[in-house]
């Protein structure tokens, strides 16, 4: 059998063959998934570990996706982008549970790729699926699902983050369409997207009822992107400011109805929070993937540090944080698939998973000690990536407000 391993490692380097994490054996997900879902998860895990994980470190250091391989196309070929899109456009016609599974495994391989993937496949593609008319879906979905085009979504502005409804980006009605003026901020995939869902105010006086959702194309005159942001984490997941200067958008690119954009936005946010909540799950899993083998190899005082109670306490906490967050996320995903979308729980899952992920990543650094503080090890990147999820898709504070407010209203 040893000969097999030696040969296998040779062919592994030549052929990039099966590379399953030994740590994957440690985590029982039998509670959560049926056989098909388990197969799906293993398949995506294998794909992500072989094709995405090897690039993760370089993506973080260079703040760019790899040049020698087109990850968007690769993920498109593996049918990952259109998980919730109808089959007629090239999608898989599955639900949020499967989307969360894919999101978790991609995020486990690389947090940045996971975030960009989530923005592309859920924020853009899924919003088009849910709100687009037949013509819009036919025009935009096939290329987005194949990975030829990248999608993005923009609602926040430099002065409208948590208070997104106070956005100032204007859409003035003109003959045949609208003219957009204003800026959008923190747009994931902004620099590279061909298709963007953008929210703007068609009626500046009507507060939330004045928002309309538009489909923007990269080449529309008057639309440009300002330079890429230099972020703490999720580096390589390009984020930038969008600039609209008298950008004409034709009538047929209104997504949903004029003045009804807030429904598109808020209902989209629920599902965005659900699917993105699988991002921190993947990061937590990645932390354990790094820590568990390390504490077996690293010896101090004559034995592996994994034999000491303090370390065992830490990994127990990491494990239970992951498993409990996971159970919450996938249970809510199941509910959403059967039509019961509860904003409290959609906010709850990402609130829970994101905060736990930051703590798990901190503990991962601690378990590695001095090595955890060195950038040669991935734990620093895992922490920096995890932190984003406490902020994007509604900050933890906003999430708490949503849940608390709803609970109080229901009394």
Partner 1 sequence: MRTTTSAASRETASMRIMVAIKRVIDYAVKIRVKPDKSGVETSNVKMSMNPFCEIALEEALRIKESGRASEVVAVSVGPAQCVDTLRTGLAMGADRAIHVEFPGTLYPLSIAKILKALVDAEKPGLLLLGKQAIDDDCNQTGQMIAGLLKWPQGTFASKVVLDEENKVATVDREVDGGLETLCLDLPAVITTDLRLNQPRYASLPNIMKAKSKVIKKLTPQDLNIEIRSDLEVVQVTDPPKRKAGVILSSVDELIDKLKNEARVL
Nearest Cα residue to 104 out of 49, 174, 148, 150: 49
C-alpha angle 270-168-201 in degrees, rounded to nearest 5: 65
Q: Is the separation of the CB atoms in 173 and 249 below 8 Å?
A: no
Question: Is 367 part of any known ligand binding site?
Answer: yes
Taking the least distance from each CB to partner 1, the nearer of 47 and 96 is 47
Other beta carbons within 10 Å of 232: 10
Smallest distance from the beta carbon of 407 to partner 1, in angstroms? Answer: 38
User: What count of other Cβ atoms lies within 10 Å of the Cβ of residue 338?
Assistant: 8
Q: How far is the CB of 84 from partner 1 (least distance, A)?
A: 12
CB of 31 to partner 1, least distance (A): 14
Q: Which of 32, 56, 59, 80 binds partner 1 (CB under 8 A)?
A: 80
Contact by Cβ (8 Å): 261, 199? yes
Of 272, 355, 390, 406, the catalytic one is 272
138 to each of 75, 214, 275, 295, how far by Cα in Å?
21, 16, 24, 52
Asked if residue 401 binds partner 1 (CB under 8 A), the reply is no
Choose the binding region for partner 1 from 38-46, 65-73, 149-157, 360-368 (rule: CB under 8 A): 38-46
The answer to whether the CB of 179 falls within 8 A of the CB of 214 is: no
Instruction: For residue 146, state whether it binds partner 1 (rule: CB under 8 A).
Output: no
Using CB under 8 A, which of the segments 11-19, 65-73, 262-270, 345-353 binds partner 1? 11-19
Please give the Cα distance from 129 to 48 (Å, whole number). Answer: 25
273 is in an annotated binding site: yes
For 39, left (φ over 0), alpha (ψ -120 to 50), or beta? alpha
Q: How far is the CB of 188 from partner 1 (least distance, A)?
A: 24
In whole angstroms, the minimum distance from the beta carbon of 209 to partner 1 comes to: 40
Say if residue 324 carries a ligand binding annotation. no
49 labeled binding residue: no
Number of residues that bind partner 1 (CB under 8 A): 29
- Per CB under 8 A, does 11 bind partner 1? yes
**Quick one: which of 52, 56, 71, 92 contacts partner 1 (CB under 8 A)?**
92
Is 209 labeled as ligand-binding? Answer: yes
Q: Which residues contact 2 (CB under 8 A, 6 or more apart)?
A: none
Which H or E element spans position 142?
helix 134-146
Among 29, 46, 208, 331, binds partner 1 (CB under 8 A): 46
70 binds partner 1 (CB under 8 A): no
Residue 160: DSSP 8-state: B
Q: Report 16-35 residues binding partner 1 (CB under 8 A).
A: 17-18, 20-22, 24-25, 28, 35
Cα 112 to chain center, whole Å? 8
CB burial string 188-226: b at 16+ within 10 A, e below: bbbbbbbbbbbbbbbeeeeeeebbbbbbbbbebeebebe
* CB of 91 or CB of 348, closer to partner 1: 91
Q: Look-up: residue for tokens 């990147």? A: 381
Is 158 part of any known ligand binding site? yes
Q: Is 245 a catalytic residue?
A: no
One residue of 59, 85, 94, 155 binding partner 1 per CB under 8 A:
94
CB of 98 to partner 1, least distance (A): 8
236 is in an annotated binding site: no
Q: Is 187 annotated as a binding residue?
A: yes
3-state secondary structure 46-115: HHHHHHCHHHHHHHHHHCCCCCCCCHHHHHHHCCCCCCCCCHHHCCCCCCHHHHHHHHHHHHHHCHHHHH
Is 124 marked as a binding-site residue?
A: no
In the complex, least distance from residue 25 CB atom to partner 1, rounded to whole angstroms: 4
Taking residue 312's Cβ as centre, other Cβ atoms within 10 Å add up to: 13
List residues with catalytic annotation: 272
Residues in the annotated binding site for FAD: 153-162, 186-188, 298, 309, 366-370, 395-397
Residues in the annotated binding site for substrate: 162, 208-209, 263, 270-273, 393-394
Binding residues (CB under 8 A) for partner 1: these are 1, 4-5, 7-8, 11, 15, 17-18, 20-22, 24-25, 28, 35-36, 39-40, 43-44, 46-47, 78-80, 83, 92, 94
């Amino acid at each position: 059998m040893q000969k097999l391993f030696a040969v296998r490692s040779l062919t592994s380097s030549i052929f990039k063959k099966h590379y399953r994490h030994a740590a994957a054996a440690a985590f029982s997900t039998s509670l959560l998934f049926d056989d098909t879902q388990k197969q799906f998860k293993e398949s995506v895990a294998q794909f992500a570990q072989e094709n995405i994980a090897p690039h993760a470190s370089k993506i973080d250091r260079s703040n760019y996706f790899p040049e020698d391989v087109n990850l968007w196309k690769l993920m498109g070929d593996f049918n990952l982008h259109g998980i919730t899109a109808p089959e007629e456009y090239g999608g898989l016609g599955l639900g949020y549970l499967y989307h969360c599974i894919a999101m978790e495994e991609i995020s486990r391989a690389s947090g940045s790729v996971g975030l960009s993937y989530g923005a592309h496949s859920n924020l853009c593609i899924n919003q088009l699926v849910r709100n687009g008319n037949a013509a819009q879906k036919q025009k935009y979905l096939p290329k987005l699902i194949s990975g030829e085009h990248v999608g993005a979504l923009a609602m926040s502005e430099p002065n409208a983050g948590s208070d997104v409804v106070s956005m100032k980006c204007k859409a003035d009605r003109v003959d045949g369409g609208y003219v957009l003026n204003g800026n959008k901020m923190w747009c994931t995939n902004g620099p590279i997207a061909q298709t963007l869902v953008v929210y703007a105010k068609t009626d500046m006086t009507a507060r939330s009822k004045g928002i309309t959702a538009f489909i923007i194309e990269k080449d529309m005159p008057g639309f440009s992107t300002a330079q890429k942001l230099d972020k703490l984490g999720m580096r390589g997941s390009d984020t930038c400011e969008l600039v609209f200067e008298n950008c004409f958008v034709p009538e047929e690119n209104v997504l949903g109805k004029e003045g009804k954009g807030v429904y598109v936005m808020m209902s989209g946010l629920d599902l965005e929070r659900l699917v993105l909540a699988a991002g921190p799950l993947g990061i937590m899993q990645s932390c354990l993937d790094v820590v568990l083998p390390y504490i077996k190899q690293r010896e101090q005082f004559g034995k592996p540090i994994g034999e000491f109670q303090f370390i065992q306490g830490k990994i127990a906490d990491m494990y239970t944080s992951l498993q409990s967050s996971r159970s919450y996320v996938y249970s809510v995903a199941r509910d959403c698939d059967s039509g019961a979308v509860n904003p409290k729980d959609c906010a709850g899952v990402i609130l829970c998973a994101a905060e736990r992920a930051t703590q798990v990543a901190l503990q991962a650094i601690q378990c590695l000690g001095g090595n955890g503080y060195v950038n040669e090890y991935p734990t620093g990147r895992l922490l920096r990536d995890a932190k984003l999820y406490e902020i994007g898709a509604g900050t933890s504070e906003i999430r708490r407000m949503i849940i608390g407010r709803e609970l109080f209203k229901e009394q």
